[in-house]
């Protein structure tokens, strides 16, 4: 072969390799475009796990190279970095957060209601939010491949995608994903409100938005979503049954081919005693002895009897029926005769009253904090010996996973996501599990935890073990990415 021919072949080779490289580059460079819509996102607004999950998922997806934009309402306390077309905008760690503004709807003290109950105009508030997502996407000329909506508050987005915006060229290839964080909250409204939605009455039927003559936004979201998932594999199964389906078991069963369960995770940049600035003394499995300094400081701050050998039980929770407050309050009196309890939470007025009465009687052993307080939450996870989660049902639960990281042994009812995350110590796991939903079983579990706690050496080994469990977002975000890809390929 002559010199020129060799040069030509080399040139061709370089050209072909270059093209292959470019192909990869385009593939790599053309990042997946995902829009997340949620009524609460940490650190901007939070009432529970929904906010934690949406905030952490967005950041984890961005780390994987996804182009992520998050839409949420512009609440009273939010201070965006800048405003754009009248909306709020903040960019953080590669994620754009867009705050949809309407002061008459969102400049209020609560996210969803006040102590008097839910705001009466919640349908108007969240359907406005949902429509605005499209208005803004159009103004920005953005065509996401996936719109990922969370719970009933953002279900309107999925409904509009397949109704009002079904013919819109910009959204022709856009697919909708719905994550159900809690089936007990469905966004049910009187039929008279339907015109506010701005969609045709043809969708008010039992195969779409109608639910026993009322409007059900979550049901609409499930029906119109291309893919649905919930926050743990066990809950994904449970919600297809009448016991846990809250009346939507039939719709969910019909959707079962497109219904996944992806376990939530924890953001270890927020929840890690090794770097936590909100606790009394930082610690890790290697410096586990320093956990005792947290307990000491906490007992002092809360005015509890200072005693390292008394079992200190913590709870950070919405005070709702779901969370097992009924069996806990029945068991609490006898628990408080031997152990210490600290509760942080807000919720139903009747539980506030019940707990307040006990707090007056057990001043040295019971600290009741009826408020939302991020700092106190961190101190509870760090200072307590055990964490109480007697939930009647639990879609996933984050607190048990946070507790592990802080070497705080979870005491849990065997249900939903708690089944997927907590195995009993007797079965080689890291928690104390009770199966029957009753105050007697809960008390028995607490006594079992106390027996374990008394055996200091074995207890320390247990704490070190659970602190090393890994429930990080890396794996969970990859599962979401796979789910998105599957949805795009539908």
In the window 182-241, what residues touch ligand ADP (CB under 6 A)? 182
Task: Tell me the torsion sign for CA atoms 313, 441, 265, 37.
Answer: negative
- Paired with 312 in beta bridges are 340
Enumerate residues 6+ apart whose C-beta is below 8 A from 130. Answer: 37, 154, 155, 156, 157, 159, 160
What Rg do the C-alpha atoms of the chain give, in angstroms? Answer: 25
Can the peptide bond before residue 43 be classed as cis, meaning omega within 30 degrees of 0? Answer: yes
Helix (H, G, I), strand (E, B) or coil at 472: strand
Number of residues counted as binding ligand ADP (CB under 6 A) = 19
The answer to the question of residue 399 lying near ligand ADP (CB under 6 A) is yes
Distance in Å, CB of 366 to ligand ADP, minimum: 16
The DSSP 8-state label assigned to residue 47 in this structure reads: S
Q: Please choose, out of 49-57, 80-88, 105-113, 208-216, the segment that lies near ligand ADP by the rule CB under 6 A.
A: 49-57
The answer to the question of residue 52 lying near ligand ADP (CB under 6 A) is yes
- Contact between residue 184 and residue 151 where contact means Cβ atoms under 8 Å apart: no
The answer to the question of residue 49 lying near ligand ADP (CB under 6 A) is yes
b/e map 215-252, b = 16+ CB within 10 Å: bbbbbbbbbbbbbbbbbbbbbbebbbeeebbbebbebb
The answer to the question of residue 345 lying near ligand ADP (CB under 6 A) is yes
The answer to the question of residue 261 lying near ligand ADP (CB under 6 A) is no
The answer to the question of residue 429 lying near ligand ADP (CB under 6 A) is no
| Comparison of 147 and 316: residue with beta carbon closer to ligand ADP | 316
The answer to the question of residue 355 lying near ligand ADP (CB under 6 A) is no
Span between the terminal Cα atoms of the chain, in Å: 51
Q: Contact with ligand ADP (CB under 6 A): which of 398, 412, 422, 445?
A: 398
Q: Contact with ligand ADP (CB under 6 A): which of 12, 109, 301, 374?
A: 374
Q: Please choose, out of 69-77, 122-130, 368-376, 465-473, the segment that lies near ligand ADP by the rule CB under 6 A.
A: 368-376
The answer to the question of residue 377 lying near ligand ADP (CB under 6 A) is yes
Could you tell me whether strands 87-92 and 82-84 are parallel, antiparallel, or unpaired per DSSP bridges?
Answer: antiparallel
What are the phi and psi torsion angles at 138 (to 5°)?
-70, -40
Enumerate residues 6+ apart whose C-beta is below 8 A from 430. Answer: 404, 409, 410, 422, 423, 462, 465, 466, 469
| Comparison of 174 and 399: residue with beta carbon closer to ligand ADP | 399
The answer to the question of residue 174 lying near ligand ADP (CB under 6 A) is no
Q: What string marks each residue from 312 to 341 as x (binds ligand ADP by CB under 6 A) or -?
A: ----xxx-----------------------
Distance in Å, CB of 336 to ligand ADP, minimum: 20
The CA–CA distances, whole Å, from 114 to 124, 152, 348, 349 equal 17, 19, 11, 11
- Paired with 319 in beta bridges are 347
The answer to the question of residue 372 lying near ligand ADP (CB under 6 A) is yes
Which structure tokens are listed for 490?
């539908």
Distance in Å, CB of 476 to ligand ADP, minimum: 14
| Comparison of 82 and 277: residue with beta carbon closer to ligand ADP | 277
The answer to the question of residue 344 lying near ligand ADP (CB under 6 A) is yes
Helix (H, G, I), strand (E, B) or coil at 275: coil
| Comparison of 266 and 452: residue with beta carbon closer to ligand ADP | 266
| Comparison of 59 and 316: residue with beta carbon closer to ligand ADP | 316
**Which residues of this chain interact with ligand ADP, rule CB under 6 A?**
48-50, 52, 182, 316-318, 344-346, 372-374, 377, 396-399
């Amino acid at each position: 072969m002559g010199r020129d021919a060799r040069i030509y072949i080399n040139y061709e080779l370089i050209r072909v390799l270059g093209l292959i490289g470019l192909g990869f580059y385009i593939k790599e460079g053309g990042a997946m475009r995902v829009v997340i819509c949620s009524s609460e996102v940490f650190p901007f607004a939070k009432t529970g796990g929904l906010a934690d999950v949406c905030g952490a998922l967005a950041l984890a997806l961005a780390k994987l190279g996804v182009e992520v934009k998050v839409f949420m309402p512009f609440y009273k306390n939010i201070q965006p970095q800048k405003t754009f077309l009248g909306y709020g905008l903040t960019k953080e760690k590669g994620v754009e957060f867009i705050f949809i503004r309407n002061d008459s709807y969102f400049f209020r003290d609560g996210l969803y209601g006040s102590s008097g109950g839910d705001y009466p105009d919640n349908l108007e508030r969240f359907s406005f939010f949902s429509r605005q997502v499209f208005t803004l996407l159009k103004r920005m000329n953005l065509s996401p491949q996936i719109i990922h909506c969370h719970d009933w508050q953002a279900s309107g987005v999925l409904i509009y995608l397949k109704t009002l915006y079904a013919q819109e060229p910009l959204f022709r290839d856009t697919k909708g994903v719905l994550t159900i964080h809690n089936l007990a909250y469905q966004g049910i409204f009187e039929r008279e409100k339907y015109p506010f939605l701005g969609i045709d009455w043809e969708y008010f039927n039992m195969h779409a938005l109608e639910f026993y003559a009322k409007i059900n936004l979550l049901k609409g979201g499930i029906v119109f979503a291309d893919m649905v998932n919930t926050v743990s594999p066990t809950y994904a199964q449970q919600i297809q049954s009448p016991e846990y389906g809250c009346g939507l078991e039939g719709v969910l069963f019909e959707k079962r081919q497109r219904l996944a369960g992806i376990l939530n995770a924890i953001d270890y940049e927020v929840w890690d005693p090794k770097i936590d600035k909100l606790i009394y003394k930082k610690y890790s499995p290697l410096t586990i002895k320093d956990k005792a300094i947290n307990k000491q400081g906490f007992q002092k701050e809360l005015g509890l009897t200072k005693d390292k050998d008394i079992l200190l039980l913590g709870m950070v929770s919405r005070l709702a029926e779901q969370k097992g407050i009924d069996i806990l309050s029945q068991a609490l009196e006898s628990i408080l005769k031997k152990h210490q309890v600290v509760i942080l939470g807000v919720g139903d007025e009747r539980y506030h009253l019940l707990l307040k009465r006990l707090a007056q009687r057990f001043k040295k052993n019971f600290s009741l904090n009826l408020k939302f307080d991020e700092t106190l939450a961190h101190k509870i996870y760090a200072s307590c010996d055990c964490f109480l989660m007697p939930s009647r049902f639990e879609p996933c639960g984050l607190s048990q996973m946070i507790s592990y990281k802080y070497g705080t042994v979870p005491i849990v009812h065997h249900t939903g996501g708690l089944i997927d995350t907590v195995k009993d110590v007797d079965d080689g796991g890291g928690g104390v599990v009770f199966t029957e939903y009753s105050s007697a079983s809960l008390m028995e579990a607490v006594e079992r935890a106390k027996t374990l706690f008394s055996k200091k050496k074995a207890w320390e080994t247990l704490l070190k073990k659970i602190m090393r469990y890994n429930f990080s977002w890396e794996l969970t975000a990859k599962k979401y990415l796979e789910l998105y890809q599957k949805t795009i390929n539908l």
